[in-house]
Amino acid sequence: MNVELSRRAFLLTAGAGVAGTALGAFGFADIEAAHAAAIRPFKLVNTAETRNTCPYCSVACGVIMYSKGNLRKGEQAEITHIEGDTDHPTNRGTLCPKGSALLGFVKSPTRLQHPMVRKPGSDKFEPIAWKDALDRIARLMKDDRDKNFVAKNNDGVTVNRWLTTGFLAASASTNETAFATYKVVRSTGILAFDNQARV
């Protein structure tokens, strides 16, 4: 990494040239403020940084998320910019056209924000409280499982499977989410269990 450290030093002086240290110190006097406005203030100043990995393809590029507010200090945090993490061995700070626009995924106008239900035959979603939605889903699961659980097959072998409900797991959730999901789904006897590896 020595090459890169010297590179950082270089870039700092390249902005300022041979007089870098002197110029770097002075900032702007009032009289110059109008002209200084030609250059946008650096927008990441005083943001909080968080390391993450891109959720799209399996290159798993390192990214840095910049936010107003710091989640680790218990604050509300709004992500304002995302760019590649130069320290990451694979992507070395680069990002593809999807990764470079990750902020737009986090802030997509079509991100879901509230639980919704669409009733049979209805042509619209309606809001529902988390508690009510979860209660109802658990009830539906339990009833279907009780009714259709196969404890033994025709040969009398214990098979303990539940085939009338299925679960499709994600492709970008964490290992930890995957394991929690695995435990719950497997414990019910569901076999129609698949992920996105095929498609």
Partner 1 sequence: MTNSWTDIRNTDLVVIMGGNAAEAHPCGFKWVTEAKANRGAKLIVIDPRFTRSASVSDLYAPIRQGTDIAFLLGLINHCIQNNKVQWDYVKAFTNATYVVKDGFTYKDGLFSGYDEAKRDYDKSTWDYDIGPDGFAVVDATMANPRCVWNLLKNHVAVYTPEMVERICGTPKERFLKVAEMVAETSSPDKAMTSMYALGWTQHSKGSQNIRAMAMLQLVLGNIGIRGGGMNALRGHSNIQGLTDLGLMSNLLPGYLTVPTQKEPDLAAYMSTRGFKPLRPNQMSYWQNYKKFFVSFQKSMWGDAATPENDFAYEYLPKLDVPGYDLLRTFELMHQGKMNGYFCQGFNPLQAAPNKKKVIESLSKLKFLVIMDPLDTETGRFWENHGPYNDVDPTKIQTEVYQLPSTCFAEDDGSLVNSGRWLQWHWAGGTPPGEAKRDTWIMAQLYLRLKDLCTKEGGAFPDPIVKLNWPYADPGDPKAEELAQEINGRALARVTDTADPTKVLAEAGKLLPSFAALRDDGSTACGCWIYSGCFNENGNNMARRDTSDPDDAGFYSKWAFSWPANRRILYNRASADLTGKPWDPSRKVVEWDGQKWSGYDVPDITPTAKPDQVGPFIMNPEGVSRLFTRGMMRDGPFPAHYEPFESPIVNPVAPKVRGNPAARVFEGDMAQFAEAGSKEFPYAATSYRLTEHFHFWTKHVIVNAVIQPEFFVEISEQLAAEKGITKGGWVRVWSKRGSVVAKAMVTKRIRPLTCDGKTIHIVGIPLHWGFTGAAKKGFGPNMLTPFVGDANIETPEYKAFLVNIEPAPGPVA
Partner 2 sequence: MFPPLPNPSTTGTATRLSEKDLVRRSASTVPAPEQKLTEVAKLIDVSKCIGCKACQTACIEWNDTHPEVGVFAGAFENPPDLTPDMFTLMRYSEWDNPETNELEWLIRKDGCMHCADPGCLKACPAPGAIVQYSNGIVDFVHENCIGCGYCIKGCPFNIPRISKVDHTAYKCTLCSDRVAVGQGPACAKACPTQAIVFGTKDEMKGWAAKRVEDLKSRGFVNAGLYDPPGVGGTHVMYVLHHADQPEIYSGLPKDPRISPLVEAWKGVTKYAGLTIMGVAAGVGLLHHLIMGPNRVTAADEEHAEELTEGDSHGRR
Residues lying near partner 2 in the complex (CB under 8 A)? 3-4, 7-8, 10-20, 23-28, 32, 34-49, 64, 66, 81-87, 91-101, 103-104
* Spatial separation of the C-alpha atoms in residues 83 and 102, rounded to whole Å: 8
Give yes or no for a contact between 84 and 94, defined as CB atoms under 8 angstroms apart: yes
Tokens of 22: 């002197």
- 157 makes contact, choosing from partner 1, partner 2, none, with CB < 5 to 8 Å by partner type, with partner 1
132 binds, among partner 1, partner 2, none (CB under 5 to 8 A by kind): none
Helix or strand run (H / E) with residue 191: strand 190-194
Please, what is the minimum distance in Å from the beta carbon of residue 77 to partner 2? 13
- Kindly state the tokens that stand for 50: 């968080």
- Nearest distance, CB of residue 7 and partner 1, angstroms: 14
* DSSP structural state of residue 68: E
Nearest to 100 by CA among 169, 54, 34, 67: 54
How do beta strands 150-152 and 126-127 pair? unpaired
Say which entry of partner 1, partner 2, none residue 40 contacts (CB below 5 to 8 A, set by partner kind).
Answer: partner 2
Q: Which is nearer to partner 2, 81 or 161 (CB)?
A: 81
CB of 40 to partner 1, least distance (A): 19
From the list partner 1, partner 2, none, partner contacted by residue 45 (C-beta under 5 to 8 A by kind):
partner 2
